Each structure stands twice: as structure tokens, then as C-alpha cells.
Chains A and B, each alone.
Chain A
Amino acid sequence: MTRDTSYQAVMARRNEIMKSSMGLDYEVYRQGELAFDYERMMDDCGFTLEDIIKIQAETKVGNTPMYELHNLTRAVRKISAPGKGARIFLKDEAANASGSFKARRASISAYVAAQKGYKGVIAATSGNYGAAVASQAVQRGLRCIIVQEVFDSHGIGQPEIVEKGRKCEAFGAEVVKLSVGPELFYYLLLALEETGYFNASLYTPFGIKGVESLGSELTLQIRSMTGREPDAVVVTHAGGGNITGTARGMMAAGCQAKVVACSVDLSGLHMASDHDFNRKSFTTGHTGFGIPFATWPDRVDVPRNAARSMRYMDDYVLVKQGEVFYITELLAKLEGIERGPAGNTSVTGAVALAREMKQDQIIVVQETEYTGAGKHHNSQLAFARKMGIEVRRGNPDDGVNGKSIVIPEHLSQVKGCKQDMEKLRNSYLKNAAKQLAPEKWSEVDRRFVAADVKKDLTWLDSALKQL
């Protein structure tokens, strides 16, 4: 029997395809119209933090170095008020098997897929996650298909994504390259249905559990290196898994540091637009994912998203494309390490925040990513110029996304921009209200919504009145 492969027919089969591709029934966690038992879903994975660390050690994941960035800290102190300029530390996640923290996220999915007897894994991603899944799959004896959004209607590939596709192939994965559009998910479903492989989604409990080791590791490392607790941890934020997993791991290690999300500001560019696709110089860690996923996590390829960033986020800082490119270059020149620009988003956020913190305080950048041809700030800027985008030095605030990138002339111009957390929480409430009118929310729904934005019922009642 030939199955109907039209968009509508495949999307209508999504629930059955998802269920058989993960062996996970999300229905059992449902508690209300909006609410589900998040913690039970996470616990049901059956892995303790110790299990995770052990599984990851088998496939070259974790135990990455932590460095104090002495020269960058000194430079920041020069431009800060007297007594200001926190010590900046960097966790070098590029040392994981596939060159980014995403190896943590892929490791447990690949382990589970092999345990459950799946022959292969599939993931839909244009990011470092593809390479991570491919690298983990090959170590577990699994076949691998990575589905990527790569090129616009002129056939022009974003250089960073092209490189990430190459890396997937280097690990023996099949890479399905697609043009711009939200139908990436449609093809993922088709491929899952055809192959019967495991859906190594970024947003399953396995994916998030894998990142918890990062949060606990960084806490222990800072304690051992400095004899004290970190004051703030900056996390590059897109889909929310990085912040969720890291914060949960920090909590497990008893760390009370502020969790600060950081994204590149790409406001004004549409994520599914064929025209805008190659006018973005960042393919992840940006607001095109960061804001929609924070303010409504359940927009992903699984029924309930295990990455729920607003539960863990204390602050959210946005940085400009030009600021990140400047800091990426500075990291090489001052600290002698070249790392990928998307991962350096949080270094940029840390510089902006460290300026306002006391000198005895500690701020941690919790990830880096590998760099290379295509996935390099020079590649991105050269490509931007080819696409007609103006690249110049000046005040980064003068940059207009899709038209110009302005690289700071001086470190003092790296300031970032703090987001209004109340506004973000209100956006979440508006999105929840679109699912079900607030007057119809049950008590369990109300408690779930409040917890999902890290607030209590008193806050919820007052916020709903003003909505």
C-alpha cells in the first residue's frame, strides 16, 4: 500500500509516527488542558546524573576543560567603573566528540535508541546537533540520517550550515539537504515512517537530561578552581535545551548562581523567509528561536517539550551580530583560542554583564563550539558582504539586521541589551491563553503555567488581570 505523502496527510499521522519513533507515550503525563507532569516525565527516563556521566564517558562526551579568561577579564576591567569587572570563566565544550555541547544532548538519545533495538536515528537540525547525533550514532553502531534546511531558492547554502552538513557526512551520516521552509518537520516524519528509525529530537527528556552533566560539571570545576560559587552562568539560548539542562544540573549540584540566557538579536528577519534566510549571519543562538521557544516551548517535533527555558531563566540579554564577531576576534587575539561565533554569543553576553559585576564575582560562559571553514566569523562576514550586507566598524547599535553589520570600534561598545522578563512572561501567558481561555484553566493548569515561568499563583493572578 502506498501511503499518502501530501503535507496534510503526513502531518495528520504525526502522533502515531512520533509514538513509534521514540517508544514514549506523552499522554500518560497529561494533567489538564495545559498542564503535564514535567518532573515525572524527566524522572521516567530512568537515568540518574551518575548514569548520564557514565554513558557519556563511553562516547567521548563531558569532562571538558574550564579556563579562566585572564586577559579578557583584564580588558573588561579597563573599561569598567572602579571595582567592577567580574572574573570571566569559559567551559570549553568544543572539546566534546563532535565539537560542541550538543554531543551531551545526542549521547543519551543514541544510547536509548541502541538499547531499544532501533537500527538508526534521525534528527532534523541545521545546527551542531546534527554532527553530534552522527558522531554518537556511529559510536553506538547506529545508522544516521540528518535532515537539514540548507539552501535558498537560488541554491545558495548558508556557509555555516554547509560546514555542519559536511561534518555529519564525515561521521558517515546521510544528509538530506532541503530548501527554506517549515516543512523540514514534514520530511522528518516521512523519513521516520520510511525507516522506522529513532527520532533523536532535541526536545525529548533524553536530550535535556544529557545536558544536566554540563551544569553539575561547571559547578564542581568553579568550586575546585576558586574555592567559591559562581555568581552568574551565561547560556547561549535558542530552543531552550541548553539553559534547561544546564540549570537543572547546576541545581542538582546545589548551585544558586543566576542563570542568564543570551541570544543574538535578529529582530526584523523572518525565520521561514526564503529572502531572509541568507541574510542572517547566525544560524542558531538567536532571537528567531530564543524568543518564540521561551514564550511557548510546545512548538517542537515532540508532543511536549522537555526544554522549558522560562522555568530556569533569571535574566535574558540580547547582543548584536557585530558585537559577537568583535568578541570572537578578541577571544582569538587575547586568549589564543579560536572558537565558533555562535557559541561565542554567551562570551559577548558575559563581557556585557561582567562590566556591571564586582571584581571578586565570577561569571561563567558555559559553552564553546568548534570553528573552521564556513563556521567562522570571517566566513560569515565575507558571505554577508556577498549578499549585499554592509560590514563596517562603528557603533553596533547602528546595525540593521539584514542590511548592515556594525563591528564595535572599542570594547566599551559591547554592552548587550537586557530584556524585560515580565514582558517575556506575559508573552508566555498570552500564548497559553490562545490555547485555552484563562477562565477555563483548572487549578493544575494554573500551577503548571506559574511554574513554567518561574512564578507563583499570586503573581499569576495579578498578571492575568493585567493581560
Chain B
Amino acid sequence: MSEVKAGTWVEIEKILLTPEQRAPQTPEDTHATPYLMKVAGFLVADAPTDSEVTIRTLSGRIVGGKLKVVRPHYEHSFGETIEELLIIGLGGEL
């Protein structure tokens, strides 16, 4: 597995609470899953993906977790066209 260089923008994951450690008021379906955190930051030292690492976040905090994504980015969009919306307000229906 290739090493990721220190200083690279990465995302780490960490299980904060296992299912049995979760809040008692959590609904059943949620309670069956671990409570998971993802944080992005700059990798502190060279490390391979999936290893335990520390990162420096944008607020300057050092946070530890498993290195999962190298150079994470956003892909959210306007989504596939919803044709039902297109004809709204064109005149006919008012």
C-alpha cells in the first residue's frame, strides 16, 4: 500500500461509540450501528491508507483516526432533472 505524504488533505474515520456504548434513548435501528465520526485535515506524518493516523484540522486541532480518503472532495449537485418541476409556473396552470 502506498504511503500518503505528510501535509496531504485527508479524511479520517473513528468509531466514537460502539453499538453497546450508545445513548440509551437511541431508536433500535440506529442503536444497532456504531457512532461514527469523519473529519478532514492535513496528515501529520507519512502513513498508508487504513492506518491509524493523526491530522491537523482547519481549526488547528490534532485528531486521530483511521486514514480513509485522500484529498476528499464534494460531489453534491443539483441532481438529475425533475421534469415535474419544469412546467410549474409557465402560465397554464394559474
Given A174-B61, A175-B39, A378-B81 contact (CB < 8 Å): yes
Chain B contacts with A in 34-86, Cβ cutoff 8 A: 34-41, 57-61, 74, 76-82, 84-85
Complex-state Cα separation, A383 to B25, whole angstroms: 29
**Smallest Cβ distance from B68 to chain A, in angstroms?**
10
Contact B76 A162 (CB under 8 A): yes
Total A residues in contact with B, Cβ cutoff 8 Å: 64
Interface residues of B in 1-52 (CB under 8 A from A): 16-17, 21-23, 25-27, 29-30, 32-41
Q: A176-190 interface mask toward B, CB cutoff 8 Å, 1 = contact, 0 = none?
A: 111111110011000
**CB of A144 closer than 8 Å to a CB of B:** yes
Whether, in the assembled complex, A333 has its beta carbon less than 8 Å from a beta carbon of chain B, the answer is yes
Q: Which residues in A have their C-beta under 8 angstroms from that of B85? A: 325, 329, 377-378, 381, 407
Contacts of B41 in A (CB 8 A): 174
CA distance A143 to B67 in the complex (A): 24
- Beta-carbon nearest neighbor of A334 in chain B: B89
Q: Is A145 among interface residues, defined by CB-CB distance under 8 A?
A: yes
Is the Cβ of A273 less than 8 Å from the Cβ of B30?
yes
The minimal Cβ–Cβ distance linking B49 to chain A, given in whole angstroms, is 16
B76 touches A166 (CB 8 A): yes
- How many Å lie between the Cα of A179 and that of B80 in the bound state? 26
Judging by beta carbons under 8 Å apart, are A382 and B37 in contact? no
**Dominant SS at the B interface?**
loop
Q: Does A442 touch B at the CB level, under 8 Å? A: no
Question: Given A159-B79, A181-B26, do A274 and B33 touch, yes or no (CB 8 Å)?
Answer: yes
A325 to B88, CA, bound (A): 10
Bound CA span A377–B58, Å:
30
Q: Knowing A330-B89, A378-B81, say if A174 contacts B30 (CB, 8 Å).
A: no
B89 pairs with A382, CB closer than 8 A = no
Q: Are A330 and B59 in contact (CB under 8 A)?
A: no
Contact A163 B76 (CB under 8 A): yes
Q: Given A174-B57, A174-B61, A407 and B84 touching (CB < 8 A)?
A: yes
Offer 24 A-B interface pairs, CB within 8 angstroms, sorted by A.
A153-B36, A166-B74, A173-B58, A173-B59, A174-B58, A175-B39, A176-B38, A177-B38, A181-B26, A181-B30, A182-B25, A183-B26, A186-B16, A272-B25, A274-B30, A329-B89, A330-B88, A334-B89, A377-B82, A378-B79, A378-B81, A381-B85, A383-B79, A410-B93
